[in-house]
Structure 1
Amino acid sequence: MLNALRALERGHIPRGRRTVILTNAGGAGIIAADACERAGIKVLSLPAAVKDELASFLPPEAGLGNPIDMIATAGSSDYEQALRVALSVTDSVIVIFRPPLILEEPTGAVAEGILRAIAEAPDKPVIVCTLSHGTAAARFIERLAREKIPTYTMPEAAVDALSVLCRLGELRSERRSVDMSPKPDRERALRLVEGARSEGRCALYFYEGAEILSSYGLPVCPYTYVKDVEGAAPFLKEVGFPLVAKVDSPGLFHHFERGAVIPGIANGEDLHRAIDHLIGLIASERLHRGRILLQPALFGRELILGMKRDRSFGPVLMFGVGGTLVEALKDVSFGVAPVSIDQAERMIRSIRAFPLLEAFRGQPPVELGPLAGALHRLGQLCLDLPSIEEVDLNPFIVGKHTAAVDILIKLKEQ
């Protein structure tokens, strides 16, 4: 697993299971090829045109099959040219460089040649094996490490890491058709994100998050902004009591801890007190962008849907028990976007509290299809909008009315 994590650090996933092995040590190349066969990785048969191109610069003694055995005298130019050729015909490359006893140039020069070739095909993973812990290998490894190129001592470890990358690529490509009507409005969502970034903000207002979610068909709790009780009258006529009042400010997190959420507003007197309290809070906390948000109180199962962008995996979705219990119970599951409907349902069923989503104390069971669809849509949203760093929909109420009640969306720092 640690081998795989090192390979994932660069974040490049192969599009398929084809690989080319490039080596200056024939025996190690054969070991790597055998390990690939056991792992289900295809050691690509090289076309004649590719062999001709390799023969144009490699010595006559070189082996032009796969593994490509460049023999022990191979230097930086050989590695750079051969790797460039290999990357043009395959999904990934395993590079084996065993520092020879006599080399006419520093091992760092070989590393530089490898890096130049990688720079021309940055979306294809290259896994490196050195067969050595010696001083010469250490300098070579150090240079590659600065560019997050994974290096391993033994060929089997390199192949194991590549196998994990291949499997991750296959999981990402698994999809099941889903009703995406209405069609996601990516342009609308992108305008909202870019609008916030143009103001130098890394967090969104509730209304911006609500519009982004709505652009992808995710349900949002009704809401309005008010300055006083009189301004709440039209909304109150529409939704009635009970209400929830809260402060909406891009710089305000952890609303409950800050006293910025007032639930259970049952009448006009409660509403008056709540608005007065929140006006005072905005002033005392100097929340110059703060606004008072009203929502109807929704009842049902409190869940959490979220996303955290990982440097290696990309958007990682989260599902679990929500509300104020999420940090105490830590009953959540994870999935790497995109998630199919099948994968989303497995995420939902995998939490310990899943029996609470079935028929329970007079409550009907939660319909898993729409809930899995919400996770699927959230994953697509986060893939389409790479500027979004984090999403936290807690609680996401599922019941008579299903909707995101709290919406926290953070953007990448500029």
Structure 2
Amino acid sequence: SSHTGALAELDVGVDALFAQCGVLRVSSVEELFDVARALANQPIPKGNRVAIVSNAGGPGLLATDALVNLGMNVAPYRGAIKTKLKKAIAGLGTVNNPLDLVAGAGGESFKQALSLIKNDRNFDTIIPIFVPPVTINQLDVAKSILEGIKGTKKTVLACFMGAGEGSEGVDYLKRHGVPVYIFPEAIAKALSLIDIYRRWLERPRYDFKTFRVNKRRVESILKEAISKGEDAIVGEEALEILSSYGIPAIKGKIAFTEKVAVSAAEEIGYPVVIKINKPRILHKTDIGAVVIDVRSNREVKTAFASLKKKITKLKALGQQRFSVSVQEMISDGVETVIGMTTDPSFGPLIMFGLGGIYVEVLKDVAFRINPLNEGNVDEMMQGLKAYPLLTGQRGAEPVDIDRLKESLLRLSQLVTDFDKFSEIDINPFIASSVKGKSKAVDARFIIKKS
């Protein structure tokens, strides 16, 4: 199996379909109703900026941690709003976000704070959190919250933590269209899902691109492989398929002897990488069929002899004549993986993620149903945990994102044009910060069984 096939768990097709169609996926029935009550009663927030007002520091911090961990923005109060809040809550607490009104704060304190925050353009959602003390009337606080947010177009989701069943304050807010949750983490999860939906609604509309390609050359390579009864295309033929569709790939030279390998290395320029070309091996790194950073003629000869000896021991050569591929070595850039697998329900799924030999361990990948447009590609990239590595982390140069995007779109066209491939792996695809240096280093095409 290819890396792409191994990473395509049973549910990735459903996740891809939902992501492309704007369907929110929840993990429980409770979460389903948490999201539904927010969407049914409140407007969709215009952004991910959240203001929290609480009469208890702990729940406020719990809400903040949950929101930030889910990608929401809990920014501090600034400028005029901070000055006004200081005056309004003088003696009750410090002005931070979350805004802690302290335990003794009653309805009037909530009303004053909310009436100011509702007009602050730096926030899209307001979360009032109330932990009822014995001495404070819950209904009075609920009425004050409603008066404080009166006229706002912001999303308001309340939390009455520990209010208990039959709380008059909770019922009052619900009757007036303000959803109330038991715990702040539930609000954070619901908001983060709604924010995904907001971004889906706001996404630009893209057409599907078509590139000029050499389709006939791919047809020829595929026809020859099928006529030989092969179940996969690897090595130089695989890289040639990529080149035929405009996906940049490393140029290599095939060598059947040490002398030819040395000549190829000298022509390419040291350092080089030497891989077993024949026999055909899907996962070369797993058996040590790749030698990197080869820097001299002597090292080329040593690598050639070592790889040939290894294959002889494995008895994998059969009737094939042993050969290696000598390739330029690319040391700078981010290793990514691009691929395709076939889902029995949804057809071809295109994959993109962090690549290299640890791709199946890290599993930082995203799938989308073919065909892809630019919007789909943007979503795949930006959804990765490793996305900052592509945009330039800690002073590093950003990679050539445009070349990476185009390569994914070209692969999408290749998959659309040829339904004979069940799986495709391009691993690694080195994403370089230097224009023209981003290239596929290795590839494999698994042919469907007829």
Band the TM-score falls in, shorter-chain normalisation: 0.5 to 0.7
Query: Do structure 1's residue 395 and structure 2's residue 431 form an aligned pair?
Result: no
Question: How far has the Cα of 1:230 moved from its partner?
Answer: 1.8
What CA distance in whole angstroms lies between the structure 1 residues aligned with 2:404 and 2:218? 21
- Which is higher, the Rg of structure 1 or of structure 2? 2
* Offset at residue 178 of structure 1 (A): 4.0
Shift in alpha-carbon separation, 1:177–1:383, aligned structure 2, 3 A: closer
Query: Any stretches of 5+ residues in structure 2 without a counterpart?
Result: 1-9, 15-204
From 408, 411, 415, give the equivalent of 1:375: 408
| Distance (Å, rounded) in 1 between the aligned partners of 2:280 and 2:382 | 35
1:164-219, Cα deviation, whole Å (9 max, x unpaired): xxxxxxxxxx7525472xx1122221111111001000111312211211111001
Q: TM-score w.r.t. structure 1 length?
A: 0.55
Deviation digits for residues 46-76 of structure 1 (CA, Å, limit 9, x no counterpart): xxxxxxxxxxxxxxxxxxxxxxxxxxxxxxx
Aligned partners of 1:179, 1:186: CA distance in 2, in Å? 12
1:330 corresponds, among 356, 363, 367, to: 363
Letter in 1 for 2:207: R
Change (3 A) 1:366 1:226: same
Distance, in Å, in 1 between the alignment partners of 2:422 and 2:283 is 18
Question: Per-residue deviation at 1:233?
Answer: 4.0
> Which residue of 208, 215, 218 corresponds with 2:247?
218
Instruction: Report the aligned-residue RMSD.
Output: 2.3
The number of aligned residues is 243
Is 2:338 the partner of 1:301?
no
Residues 379/359 of structure 1: CA separation in 2 closer, same or farther (3 Å cut): same
* Structure 2 counterpart SS, 1:377: helix
8 Å CA contact retained: 1:243, 1:296 = yes
The reply on whether 1:409 has 2:445 as its aligned counterpart is yes
SS in 2 for 1:204: strand
Q: Match for 2:250: what amino acid? A: C
Q: Which amino acid aligns with 2:327?
A: Q
For 1:326, give the aligned amino acid. Answer: V
Matching of residues 13-24 of structure 1 within 5 Å? none
Mapped partners of 1:406, 1:391: distance in 2: 11
Partner AA of 2:240 in structure 1: E
Q: Deviations over 1:305-334 (max 9, x none)?
A: 010012221110110000112111100001
Residue 408 of structure 1 aligns with an amino acid whose one-letter code is R
Partner of 1:358: 391
Q: Distance in 2 between matches of 1:234 and 1:270?
A: 13
- Aligned pairs for 1:311-330 (under 5 A) are 311-330=344-363
The answer on whether the counterparts of 1:315 and 1:379 sit within 8 Å (CA) in structure 2 is: no
Report deviation, 1:253.
2.3
Post-superposition offset of 1:252: 1.6
Q: Tell me, yes or no, if the aligned pair for 1:176 and 1:342 is still in contact at 8 Å.
A: no
Provide the C-alpha distance between the structure 2 equivalents of 1:336 and 1:222, rounded to a whole number of angstroms. Answer: 30
Whether the 8 Å contact between 1:223 and 1:294 is mirrored in structure 2 is yes
1:276 is displaced (CA, Å) by 0.1
SS of structure 2 residue aligned to 1:323: coil
Query: CA offset at residue 237 of structure 1?
Result: 3.0
Is 1:176 aligned to 2:207, yes or no? yes
Residue 206 (str. 1) matches residue 235 (str. 2): yes
The question of whether the paired residues in 1 share the 8 Å contact of 2:262 and 2:300 is answered with no
Asked if the contact 1:205/1:250 (under 8 Å) is kept, the reply is no
Whole-Å separation in 1 of the counterparts to 2:258 and 2:280: 25
